[in-house]
Chain A
Amino acid sequence: SYELTQPPSVSVSPGQTASITCFGDKLGDKYASWYQQKPGQSPVLVIYQDFQRPSGIPERFSGSNSGNTATLTISGTQAMDEADYYCQAWDSSTGVFGTGTKVTVL
């Protein structure tokens, strides 16, 4: 079955840039989405179709996808961005989520 692998954790200082990677075989041939989940809350869509931002998502969130890796970048990271982040893609009509990355804002 298809797998998406993320680093378990990323630490970033306030105001700095956080990059979260998502690795999957030929992931660049698929569309990647990213979801933010804060403790006790439901996931929220922050990036879809590799780099598109939904209405209401701050411009500091951006995405890219090429080769085997999709990347979510948070520029000028704020304390409110501390959360778990999951990448997601589809393989043969099956939804697959990444392993998840905990972003800590130190």
Chain B
Amino acid sequence: QVQLQESGPGLVKPSQTLSLTCTVSGGSISSGTYYWSWIRQHPGKGLEWIGYIYYSGSTYYNPSLKSRVTISVDTSKNQFSLKLSSVTAADTAVYYCARVLDRRIFDYWGQGALVTVSS
């Protein structure tokens, strides 16, 4: 069964870049069947889709975050990553990585990583 695990710093200073990595196990990120996505959840709030990537490197981003987001993939490590630049306290959230079936169904999720933006 596929598993996803987020990793990265839990504390980021304002104006810096948030960086997270999602490691996929139990399946190949290069299988071609799936896209790979990042989703976040502000404390006590709802879910917000950030974007997704295909193993080839094709990306799709939420227009509301597009100017600050970069999602990349490393097929040799079976990982994909998120970079969010110029962060503020409003970017404090739990960040989830997820597998996307048929480009529209989030069928497997990581456990989530809390990232706090604070000086």
A48 and B105 form a contact (CB under 8 A): yes
The stretch among A21-29, A58-66, A87-95 that forms the contact with chain B is A87-95
Interface of B is mostly: strand
How many chain B residues touch A (Cβ–Cβ < 8 Å)? 22
CB closest residue in chain B, given A100 = B46
The residue from B52, B96, B104, B110 contacting A33, defined by CB atoms under 8 A apart: B104
A33 to B101, CA, bound (A): 12
CB closest residue in chain A, given B51 = A95
Question: How many of chain A's residues touch chain B, expressed as a range?
Answer: 20 to 34
How many residue-residue contacts, CB under 8 A, span A and B?
A: 52
Interface of A is mostly: strand
Known: A1-B64, A42-B112. A33 touches B105 (CB 8 A): yes
B residues near A (Cβ < 8 Å) are 37, 39, 46-49, 52, 60, 62-64, 96, 101, 103-107, 109-112
Between-chain CB contacts (< 8 Å), 14 pairs: A33-B104, A42-B96, A43-B47, A43-B106, A44-B109, A48-B101, A86-B47, A90-B103, A93-B60, A94-B60, A95-B52, A95-B62, A97-B46, A100-B46
